[in-house]
Amino acid sequence: MSRTTLPILCALALLLAPGVARGDVIRLRTGETVKGRVVSERTNEQVLVVEDYLAGAEREIAWGAVDPGDAARLQEVLHLGTVGDVTIPCDILSYKLDDGSVVQVKGVVVKEEGGVVFLRNRSQKEPLQVRKERVVEREKGECDPQEVYPPEELAEVKKNELSPQDARTWLQLAQFCEAVGAWAAAKEAYENAAVDETFLNRKIAQEGATRVEAILRDKEALDTLNALKMAMSAEQWKRVREGIEGFAAKHPSAGEAVTKKLETLKTEFADRRTKALSALAGRRFEVIVRELIRKRVAPKDAEFNTIQGWIRKECLEEALGALLAELQKSDPAVTPEEAKALWEGRPKKSWRTAKYGSGTRFVEPPKILPKTGVKQQPQQNKGGGPAPVLKLPEPPSRDDWWRKLTTDERREFWWAVFVEKSGLFEVDPKKGKKLCDRCQGDGTLSFTMTNGLSATTLCDRCAGARFDLELRYR
């Protein structure tokens, strides 16, 4: 084993280590809780053996007496009875391609160097290199270990970890190897477990050996499934669908065990595809709409009423069409109906804010205007003529206000309108309020005119509304 491989295998051993804590809390159906260490070497399908810290002794507890949730958790970790799913912690990266579309990949980050993230998975021979400025989102998740490591490597690490010496540990190794697709290693381990005639789970070991042997006879079909699994981890949805649809014709004599794995793959494909495309829709739809709005409002001569009519109808149609085009880059089979369903099923994470800004008064006019006017009326001229007529400044009309806005201010206003009126977002019914940054929430502006008189006028930004309305949405 090379020096470079050893650290990777050591890290992998930690990822694959059993999930039973040294000090576990186990709930019983009676309501009692037992705090202690699960004695895995003595636990079997009939009894759970726990070193009870409070009693200072080992206790044998029938599985039927254990809370069903805790029983399922412990049995899965201890690989009792059935072959369960195996997952490992992994990194999930969403990053931009040259054409602006966003893709998501799973794997394990092996290093970060020179502004580049190196992500290992089995979709390619060398680690995927992604520049950090292209990364849109990065999070931790769980993934199938086969998406990152070859099954033979996983089997080797697990065997070194368990160091099987008895039928029980050989069975644990066998079930793990079967779960990760290391078929030859699984067959050997099942056979070693089945040799012990006193082993309570000898029948499980024998059945496992028979099952894996049948799978090995269907190696070509199995290789096809593994290739489709790798394509699925790379989100090559079209390739996977076509592979699933053509599997029966390509492997007409595939055995029952392989057929079951094909059905599992179908279920996983449908689930992962929906989650991935829903997440993509959730990330891209707002970006698409904002860009459509920006292009519409950018011309200085763009009229308010024209934009308003477009927002109410054509904007939604254009946005859903653009979203469909982006989703079809990932999977050409996406239909317009599915595109909308994928958006509706998007993961809703944190609340965001849309702001009406200085346009608040045109959306929700103030019901009560603050008092304005000249504080001291000018006296008549000594010559007996009428007092001069003073014209006080007024807030701009809607069209004047609209003409003076920047492109970004126009876009933010219409984005808030779209969020509230389109019906596509979950919107908090309680609007937020931010003090007008011109009058600081007073609604008026006071000044001294050239003739020395004091005057109060409506704020030329909010026109007495006092606040800017904000929407929380997701």
pLDDT at 393: 76
CA distance 148 to 92: 12
For residue 4, the model assigns a pLDDT of: 41
Q: What are phi and psi of 427, to 5 degrees?
A: -115, 130
List Cα–Cα distances, 28 to 37, 40, 55, 67, 325, in angstroms: 15, 18, 16, 5, 53
Could you tell me the two tokens for 249?
Answer: 């014709």
Using the predicted structure, report yes or no on whether residue 333 has a pLDDT greater than 70: yes
Q: Distance (Å, rounded) from C-alpha 220 to C-alpha 246?
A: 14
CA distance 450 to 460: 19
Structural domains of the chain, ranges and CATH numbers in brackets? 18-77 (2.30.30), 88-147 (2.30.30), 151-268 (no CATH), 271-344 (no CATH), 352-377+392-473 (no CATH)
End-to-end CA distance of the chain: 51
For residue 263, pLDDT over 70 is answered with: yes
How remote is the C-alpha of 149 from its chain's centroid? Answer: 23
The average pLDDT across 37-53 equals 85
Helix (H, G, I), strand (E, B) or coil at 138: strand
Residue 463: predicted pLDDT:
94
Q: Which of 14, 76, 21, 78 is nearest to 51 (CA)?
A: 21
Confidence class for position 3, pLDDT limits 50, 70, 90: very low
pTM (global) more than 0.85: no
Is residue 386 classed exposed, middle or buried when 0-12, 13-18 and 19+ CB atoms within 10 A define those classes?
exposed
Residues contacting residue 389 through CB under 8 Å, at least 6 positions apart:
none
User: In the predicted model, what is the mean pLDDT of residues 151-171?
Assistant: 93
Q: Tell me how many degrees the CA angle 305-307-309 measures, rounded to the nearest 5.
A: 70
Residue 2, pLDDT score:
42
Summarize the confidence of residues 109-127 as an average pLDDT. Answer: 90
Give CA 32 to chain center in angstroms. Answer: 37
Mean pLDDT of 197-215: 91
- Contact in structure between 142 and 272 (CB atoms under 8 Å): no
